[in-house]
Amino acid sequence: MKKGFLIVAHGSRKDHANQQVKNLVKELSNYFQSAMFEPAFMELASPTIEDGIKALAKKDMDHLIAYPYFLFKGMHFSKDIPDIIKNIINKLEKKVDFKMLDPIGQHPKISDLVQEELYDEVIDQLKLNKVAPGKIEDKSMELIEKNLNGHEIPSEQKPIIKRVIHTTGDFDFLTSMIFHGEAVSAGLKAIKEKKIVYTDVTMVQAGINKKLGHDVRCVLNEPEVKELANNEGITKASAGMKSLSHKLDGNIVAIGNAPTALIELVNMIKNNGLKPALIVGIPVGFVNAKESKSYLTTIKDIPYITNRGQKGGSAVAAAIVNALIKEAFN
């Protein structure tokens, strides 16, 4: 099923306002590396909704996703735009279903955008806090808790998400992290049993807490791994996963840097029947990072923790494992 994405705005008599919507569509196309995005305006500007749908139909669209670039669920959202879209797709040569997403004003991060707009005006009014050295982490966690904004987070996931936010200072992880249904329980069991933690790079290895005796290994710089990478024309991180093979069975794999390592790991699970106890798959980057995480979520019987998008990194992968260690031995 080939999806087409229509970003629908009201339209303005001012060209610069309409251009902002068109620029947004270009940014979305670049981010998702897809030509299946088109802008459309309900009135006063072009391309019209009909123009946008026809442009997507020429690209062999099977299913239309309409994203209303509006703040609220008013009449335009509930009736006007759906009626226009239905009339247009009914005239197309092939059958096309469509779905309307919620308008941008419904998104939980709308408050973050307002905070960003107000930041420079408010920041000079804030005062430094005096906190005892031993209480800094506790105070940080208290502030993070206050900023969860009413999000309903499963209790077993909350310590992990809060640890990642604490490590990165980034509340995007509040809504972007993805947990397999058995991820936390499987991770805690493996941690309690002192299973080996294999990492894709030495930065993840260095960041994981070893005070309780956990064995954390990285084979990235082993001679045989370098040789395998050269012989097969693959990255060292990918070769590292490949060289470990069934040594990964029953153990934890923490990937924070290399999408190629995560892709190789998923391939081995699918093709060779590998069974790690838990995968922490959170590579960072612009080339195949978000795609590799999506690929990881196609696995049903191996627990994993990952996130959506290109954010991630060694510090995040280490923070997730450290949160599990803390919870297991708290």
Average predicted confidence (pLDDT) for the chain: 93
In single-letter form, the type of residue at position 326 comes to K
pLDDT grade, residue 116 (50/70/90)?
confident
Domains of the chain, earliest start first: 3-106 (3.40.50.1400), 133-328 (3.40.50.10230)
Question: In the prediction, which pLDDT does 152 show?
Answer: 83
pLDDT at position 303 over 90? yes
pLDDT at position 139 over 90? no
Q: What is the pLDDT of residues 143-188, one digit of tens each?
A: 888 888 767 889 999 999 999 999 999 988 988 999 999 999 999 9
Phi, psi dihedrals of residue 236, rounded to the nearest 5°: -65, -35
Q: Residues 53, 89: contact at Cβ < 8 Å?
A: yes
214 annotated active-site: no
> How many helical (H) and strand (E) elements, i.e. helices and strands, does the chain have?
15, 10
pLDDT at position 299 over 80? yes
Helical (H) or strand (E) element with 179: strand 177-179
pLDDT at position 13 over 80? yes
Question: In the prediction, which pLDDT does 130 show?
Answer: 87
pLDDT at position 108 over 80? no
Question: In the prediction, which pLDDT does 107 show?
Answer: 80
Chain mean position to CA 225? 29
CA distance 298 to 32: 19
Global model pTM greater than 0.85: no
Q: What is the pLDDT of residues 53-81, one digit of tens each?
A: 999 999 999 999 999 999 989 899 999 99
Question: In the prediction, which pLDDT does 112 show?
Answer: 80
Using a pLDDT cut of 70, give the percent of the chain over it.
Answer: 99
pLDDT at position 272 over 90? yes
- Choose, from 166, 180, 214, 246, the residue flagged as catalytic: 166
Q: What is the pLDDT of residues 203-259, one digit of tens each?
A: 999 999 999 999 999 999 999 999 999 999 999 999 999 999 999 999 999 999 999
Question: In the prediction, which pLDDT does 50 show?
Answer: 96
Question: In the prediction, which pLDDT does 282 show?
Answer: 96
